Each structure stands twice: as structure tokens, then as C-alpha cells.
Structure 1
Amino acid sequence: MEMQQLCRFLLLGTISVALNTTVLIVVMFAGILAQRLKNSRKFSRRQRTASGVGMIGLGIYVAASK
């Protein structure tokens, strides 16, 4: 019985470490990507265009629904 509990404990510990490591890797890559996008004029321009198109689309939807 005690060996079974030890195996479960080790398995859960291993799963926890794996998940935490995965989260840290994702955060690291997100930080790198955020820095690149922040310095990108092309991305900034496309983001403004997408925002504008979205707002116009919402305006048309509201105008058409009344």
C-alpha cells in the first residue's frame, strides 16, 4: 500500500514539474514575441487597420439591426 502511495506522489510531482516548465517556456516565448511585435511598424499598421475594420463592421451591424 505504501509503495503505491509513493508512486502516486512521484507521478503527481512529475506532472506538476512538467506543467510548470511548459508554462515557463510559453511565457518566455510570449515575451520574445511581444518585444518583436512591439518594435514592428508593419504589425502596428496592420493592427490599426484591423481595429478600424472591426469598428466599422460593428457600426454597420448596429445600424442594420435597428
Structure 2
Amino acid sequence: AAYRNGCRRFDGAIKGFGGCPMAKDDLTGNMPTENMVQYFNQHRIECNINPELFNQALTAATGVFPI
């Protein structure tokens, strides 16, 4: 919805980690970057992320984050 309405800057985090550490609500956190990349690719929207390097970062994050 944001892209369709003109937003062109997005903020995400690999695997969605981050957000306010003081918040107790399970709905807090960040949009997973991998979800945004998938959306942009499906809609043929250039997102200026190197897929090989991003996949390397995603693999490294899998070893760091408990998901």
C-alpha cells in the first residue's frame, strides 16, 4: 500500500529483528528486509540490493538470531 501511494523509502531489518526494547507487545519489531525484497522482485520494482550479498547476510544472520 505504501509503495502504491508514493512512498519510495523503506526501513527494514534482516529477519525483522529490532524495534523498541521497552515495548512488551508481540506486534512490535521491524519489517523483515527479505519480505520487502521478495515483494519488490515480484512486482518488478528495482530495490538496489545485491541478491548474492543479501543472501550471504541472510545466511549469516540465521547463525546469529534464534529463528
Same fold (TM over 0.5): no
Which one has the largest radius of gyration?
Answer: 1
**Structure with greater contact order relative to length (CA < 8 Å, sep ≥ 6):** 2
The TM-score with structure 1 as length reference comes to 0.30
The TM-score with structure 2 as length reference comes to 0.30
Q: Which structure shows the bigger proportion of residues in helix conformation?
A: 1
